[in-house]
Amino acid sequence: MKILIGLEIHVQLTALASKLFCSTDSSYRERNPNICVCPVCLGLPGSLPVVNRKAIEYAIAVAKALNCEINDKVIFVRKHYFYPDLPKNYQISQYDGPGFTPIARNGYIKIFIDGKSKNIRIRRINVEEDPGKIYYIGGIEETPYSLIDYNRSGIALLEIVTEPDMGSPKEARIFLDKLIAILEYLGVVDTNLEGSFRVDANISIEGYGRVEVKNIGSIKDVEKALTYEIIRQKRIVEQGGVISRETRHWDERKGVTVPLRAKEFEEDYRYFPDPDLPPIKISSDMINKVISALPELPDQRIERIIKQYNLDEYRATILVLNKWLADFFEEGAKIYSNYKKLADILITDFLRWVKEFSIDPKRLSIKPHTIVKLLELLDKGVLSIKMVKELMPRIIKGDVDIDEYIKLKGYTKIDDETYIENIVLEVFKENPKAVEDALKDPKAINFLIGAVMKKTEGRADPKKTKDIIANMLRNIKDSNR
Amino acid sequence: MSYRYISMPVYRLIEEFSSDVNKIFEYIDAIYDRIERVENKIKAFITIIPREYMYNNVEALLKKIKSSGSAIPKLFGVMIGVKDNITTMGIRTTCGSKILENYIPPYDATVIVKLKNVGVFIHGKTNMDEFAMGSTTETSAFYPTRNPWDLNRSPGGSSGGSGAALAAGEASIALGSDTGGSIRNPAAYTMVYGLKPTYGLVSRFGLIAYASSMDQIGPMARNTTDLALLLSVISGNDPKDSTSLPIESIDYVKALDDYMYKEPRLRIGIFKELFEGSDDCVKKTVYNSVDKLCSYHDCIEISMPYTKEAVAAYYIIAMAEASSNLARFDGIRYGLKTHIDGRNWVDVYTEVRTKGFGYEVKKRIALGAYVLSMGYRDMYYIRALRFRRMLREKLGDVFNNVDAVASPTMPIPPPRLGEFFEDPLKIYLADISTVIANLSGYPAISIPAGFCNNLPVGLQLMSKPLSESILLYLSAQLEDRTKLRDIIAEV
Amino acid sequence: MSEDIITYLEKLVLVKFNENEKERIRVEINRIVDLFNVLKNVKELDIYEPLFHVHEISSPLRDDEVLDKLDEEYKMLKENAVLVQGYVKAPKTVVE
């Protein structure tokens, strides 16, 4: 059964200072309700929209980064429906149909899945306004009335719609990771902000009806919701049932999708171009200005990192997709030339612990030179790899200073042969039976090695220890003859 | 004694006030006394600012100006009647509708800000057809306004209150709005001057929208110079209105003076079909006034078919846009309130909109949705917009040969109140002369032409975009000949 | 215009006509649609593109700056909406 997954993503342009159609403050989070408002975003009678230039520039930047064709003009339409969070009872948006075109279409994002590259096509990108937020007293059913906060009303959104090119929840997840990375590189949205990145999914099994799944709250939920829905659909099909076109709602708590109440009649949005907004001409000058200001994008950076630091695609991709990590790496690479080693430790232990502790990378106190120092100590043999792994979480948390720690614990790698010899002699004396076993069976040497490790708290150089023990055992054998 | 203030042109008022600022209070008394005498017969206003407030406002502002040492603004003390679909901060703005009966806007329309900046005070909000949907001011949810020239007749609409207030001496100048003729129609019917500017010349920010692609706020006055003065104040680019043209306001009084001094000979087109379709008396009266202009200018007959089709296209587009613009009225953020607890939004909104909108408004909203709905949009809405382009092209051709086009403003004299109740189509078709300017965005003026059986008749002149000065020039010339200026009706 | 269409439009725009109005509107709408239909006779229309905006200017673009102060005194809503602790009171969003 072939699975077809398409995604519809709404991205808030959180980097804008004002809203899409008015000069009201767009930083509405954590504020009292209904104070980031003005006649325009409240839809007061007589108010009129005026477009934010930067919103259009950001839209062009995203369109370019997604390899889209950019329209030479932007036409806004009115999409009519009645709902308490929509002040004008129409949303100013864009529409893809004859005569009305979105700001961009026909693009793609390249992803890597199972070692191969694949293009996920972007059908269109629209610019539109966010509605307000609805709150309930208790649940949506029990509440006697709704409470509306219009702070969010009028915030600039980009709607990015893909073709149903993804064949599995994993692909969808990889696609979203790449998209988020691109958006972060462009600096148009901070996806850590609540509600700044919303995903609706369309899933179908080839030959059957398309199901839309809404209300997927976070990126982690996307894979879960899609997996559940695919299983649900497969079961129906296997039992000979039919899947008809419908909209379902993802219930995060229960981990299931539930059908949304059917509407009485199909929504007729009565789209027409907004007479208050003449078309905006997108000149090639404007596009070129945006292009010349584009930062290095993920694909470009991956290529460059591969070449510049001689890394493989896999490592380069993981670094780049976590922008802050690639930044961290390149800072460290300025003072440390074993790039592979640096990359490795960053993409394994370092990344793992940062995620484990849910640290906001922007607030990371640890600096690249600290990691480089760790690596240099490892190289010198002062620290063993085991020690580095144990130290890592503590360094990230910031409750250990390496130099202090080394001094305090004498926590250095022991490779002084004389010192090890003395420990080995102690171990031999304390474990005569083990020595006998080792003389008979070479494999039993491991017990002795382990005992030395224990005594030295793992600091003894394993190879040297092994050699010294082997030597001593030979000496004993020889002297026994 | 202060009666002279009732009919005094604004350009004379400001001369009086600049010589003695206390004359303003005599003027205020004159207007308010007049309102007290005639308003219950005319009903031109929905809201009147109390006299004491006016005294206090003028006094307070005067004090402030004097203490700051700045100059007294040019039109300080002049009072204006403002059509009740123009947003005025702190002053109830109803659009002639129950759904906004108690709406107090928290901001001023741009034109109001401009008027305040030159020292003008608003003394009343004038009556109108509900949401500007009508041509007789009879669809107002509150009461109809009566024509000061014949109390049994309509003053026209939808800016009927503004026209009547001027004709009855209850206002010195007024603002109206024009979407399909709503300034020119009442101007013709009340024997005053009214101008619909080029679309985009006057900001729509704060004008409660009816048909966004055609609405314009415009000046109404009892003489041409006052019209020019008011137009100068309210026109000019507004960054808050994306359809506002990128031009700065010009001094139309000066432009008018220039034209009157140079007296260029222009070409005037006589619109054949619109004359032919008019009532005999109207035809005769308007021809007479055009003849007066033709003694100064070259007059030729012009013909343009599709005048009835223009009305069809106008109503399709206007109803479609109105249906959309009025979607926002649900009583939640403003407007008529009802019991909410335990009820869903579909029921609550339906109740508020059914109770709050009058029949004509509901009808237009429904029809507007119809012409935009799936399956009908191409046949009606899109088709009407194609017609609009064709009309504009044909009009462009006409204006290659003439500088202005003349026709009767209305094909019939002012109708009796209640006359059109049975036949809506007849009233829509009465817009046949006025809608062309709205569809194309061209400016047009209505100038008093004369009387038909003691009923006012107007001459309409249309000209190319941004050529308001030509309209004012021709108006001033005709005004000099007809002397139909600064007249107050006997009420 | 059939009863069905009027009911459909009522639902689309959330207004209701009472019995008397329904009678009147059916007659009036038919006549008005007849007026609309005169456009069908204008054959040459198909060669013209629809004219959405009369003057073909481009929409102006605004700089991305915050010009409005925060409305901490609820000036925009307090006289005209019902506020509950700063939120605008609205009906439920579930249809039973």
For chain B, give every domain's residue range.
4-266+446-455+464-482
**Residue B202 dihedral angles phi and psi, to the nearest 5°:** -110, 135
Rounded Cα distance, B214 and B178, in Å: 8
Under a CB-based contact definition with an 8 Å cutoff, are residues A203 and A2 in contact? no
pLDDT band at A265 (very low <50, low <70, confident <90, very high): very low
Nearest CA in chain C to A135: C87
* Predicted confidence (pLDDT) at residue A266 exceeds the cutoff of 60: no
- CA distances to A221, A386, A412, C15 from A408, in Å: 45, 18, 10, 81
Residue ranges in chain C modelled with pLDDT below 70: 1, 96
Q: Is B381 on the interface with A (CB under 8 A)?
A: yes
**Residue A266 dihedral angles phi and psi, to the nearest 5°:** -65, 140
Rounded Cα distance, C81 and C87, in Å: 10
Q: Say which of A45, A80, A144 has its CB closest to residue B341.
A: A144
pLDDT band at A421 (very low <50, low <70, confident <90, very high): confident
| Helix, strand, or coil (residue B389) | helix
Chain B hits for C49, CB-CB cut-off 8 Å, are 386, 389
| Strand-pair partners of A213 | A201, A248
How large is the average pLDDT for residues A278-283?
94
Q: Is C29 on the interface with B (CB under 8 A)?
A: yes
Across the interface, do B344 and C95 touch by the CB < 8 Å criterion?
A: yes
Rounded Cα distance, A48 and A40, in Å: 6
CA distance B213 to chain A (A): 5
Q: Which of B83, B125, B196, B464 is catalytic?
A: B83
How large is the average pLDDT for residues A215-242?
90
Q: Say which of C58, C65, C76 has its CB closest to residue A37.
A: C76
How large is the average pLDDT for residues B456-480?
98
Mutate: best of A22, A37, A48, partner B, most B CBs <10 A: A48
Q: Which of B154, B159, B182, B433 is catalytic?
A: B182
pLDDT of B58-80, one tens digit each? 999 999 999 999 999 999 999 99
C-alpha A135: how far from chain center: 29
Give the residue from A266, A70, A66 showing the smallest Cα distance to A163. A66
Element (H, E) at B237: none
User: Interhelix angle for C19-36 vs B359-372, to 10°?
Assistant: 50
Across the interface, do C11 and A264 touch by the CB < 8 Å criterion?
A: yes
- pLDDT given for residue A264 in this prediction: 44
Across the interface, do C42 and B306 touch by the CB < 8 Å criterion?
A: yes
- pLDDT given for residue A410 in this prediction: 61
Range with lowest mean pLDDT among A315-319, A470-474, B329-333, C58-62: A470-474
CA distance B353 to chain A (A): 12
Across the interface, do A145 and B373 touch by the CB < 8 Å criterion?
A: no
Rounded Cα distance, A1 and A230, in Å: 10
Q: How far apart are the first and last CA of chain B?
A: 19
Mutate: best of B245, B324, B379, B387, partner C, most C CBs <10 A: B387
- pLDDT given for residue A405 in this prediction: 73
How large is the average pLDDT for residues A207-219?
87
Q: Is C95 on the interface with B (CB under 8 A)?
A: yes
How large is the average pLDDT for residues A318-330?
93
Under a CB-based contact definition with an 8 Å cutoff, are residues B163 and B178 in contact? no
Hunting for tokens 């090890």 — which residue is that? A420
Across the interface, do A78 and B320 touch by the CB < 8 Å criterion?
A: no
pLDDT band at A400 (very low <50, low <70, confident <90, very high): confident
CA distance B421 to chain A (A): 29
Across the interface, do A51 and C61 touch by the CB < 8 Å criterion?
A: yes
Q: Which of B97, B140, B154, B158 is catalytic?
A: B158
Residue B344: DSSP 8-state: B
> Is B272 one of the catalytic residues?
no
Q: Which CATH class is domain A417-480?
A: mainly alpha
Under a CB-based contact definition with an 8 Å cutoff, are residues B483 and B220 in contact? no
* Predicted confidence (pLDDT) at residue A263 exceeds the cutoff of 60: no
Nearest CA in chain B to A21: B240
pLDDT of B168-214, one tens digit each? 999 999 999 999 999 999 999 999 999 999 999 999 999 999 999 99
Residue B208: DSSP 8-state: P
- pLDDT given for residue A360 in this prediction: 83
> Is B182 one of the catalytic residues?
yes
* Predicted confidence (pLDDT) at residue A450 exceeds the cutoff of 70: yes
Hunting for tokens 């061209």 — which residue is that? B442
Nearest CA in chain A to B214: A275
- CA distances to B87, B88, C67 from B239, in Å: 17, 19, 13
- pLDDT given for residue B288 in this prediction: 96
Hunting for tokens 């398309």 — which residue is that? A210
A56-85 residues touching B, CB cutoff 8 A: 78, 80, 82-84
User: What is the overall mean pLDDT for chain A?
Assistant: 90
Q: Say which of B205, B332, B372 has its CB closest to residue A46.
A: B205
Nearest CA in chain C to A136: C92
Across the interface, do A38 and C65 touch by the CB < 8 Å criterion?
A: no
Rounded Cα distance, B67 and A161, in Å: 62
Chain A hits for B209, CB-CB cut-off 8 Å, are 45-46, 276
In chain A, what percentage of residues exceed pLDDT 70?
96
Q: Is B465 on the interface with C (CB under 8 A)?
A: yes
Across the interface, do A145 and C92 touch by the CB < 8 Å criterion?
A: yes
User: Interhelix angle for A445-455 vs A432-440, to 10°?
Assistant: 140
Chain C hits for A155, CB-CB cut-off 8 Å, are none
Rounded Cα distance, B153 and B42, in Å: 11
Chain A hits for B340, CB-CB cut-off 8 Å, are 145
- pLDDT given for residue A415 in this prediction: 67
Rounded Cα distance, A225 and A252, in Å: 8
Q: Is A47 on the interface with B (CB under 8 A)?
A: yes
The amino acid that residue A368 corresponds to is: P
Across the interface, do C13 and B313 touch by the CB < 8 Å criterion?
A: no
Give the residue from A185, A205, A188 showing the smallest Cα distance to A196. A188
Q: Domain boundaries in chain A?
A: 3-290, 296-409, 417-480
User: What is the overall mean pLDDT for chain B?
Assistant: 96
Rounded Cα distance, B80 and B226, in Å: 12
pLDDT of B240-253, one tens digit each? 999 999 999 899 99
Which pTM was predicted? 0.90
Mutate: best of B359, B377, B428, partner C, most C CBs <10 A: B359
How large is the average pLDDT for residues A362-369?
86
| Helix, strand, or coil (residue B153) | strand
pLDDT band at B387 (very low <50, low <70, confident <90, very high): very high
Q: Where are the beta strands (DSSP E) in B197-292?
A: 216-221, 267-271
Helix extents (H) in A201-297: 219-238, 284-292
Across the interface, do B333 and A48 touch by the CB < 8 Å criterion?
A: no
Give the residue from A288, A109, A279, C5 showing the smallest Cα distance to B369. C5
CATH of domain B4-266+446-455+464-482: 3.90.1300.10
Under a CB-based contact definition with an 8 Å cutoff, are residues B217 and B263 in contact? no
- pLDDT given for residue A121 in this prediction: 98
* Predicted confidence (pLDDT) at residue B92 exceeds the cutoff of 60: yes
Q: Where are the beta strands (DSSP E) in A98-210?
A: 104-113, 116-129, 133-136, 146-149, 156-162, 197-205
Give the residue from A121, A126, A136, A101 showing the smallest Cα distance to A13. A126
Size of interface A-B (CB pairs under 8 A): 100
Nearest CA in chain C to B393: C48
C72-91 residues touching B, CB cutoff 8 A: 75-77, 79-82, 88-91
User: Rounded to 10 degrees, what is the CA torsion of B462, B465, B468, B474?
Assistant: -40
Hunting for tokens 């500088």 — which residue is that? B403
> Is B83 one of the catalytic residues?
yes
**Residue B371 dihedral angles phi and psi, to the nearest 5°:** -75, -10
Residue A200: DSSP 8-state: E
B205-234 residues touching A, CB cutoff 8 A: 205-209, 211-213
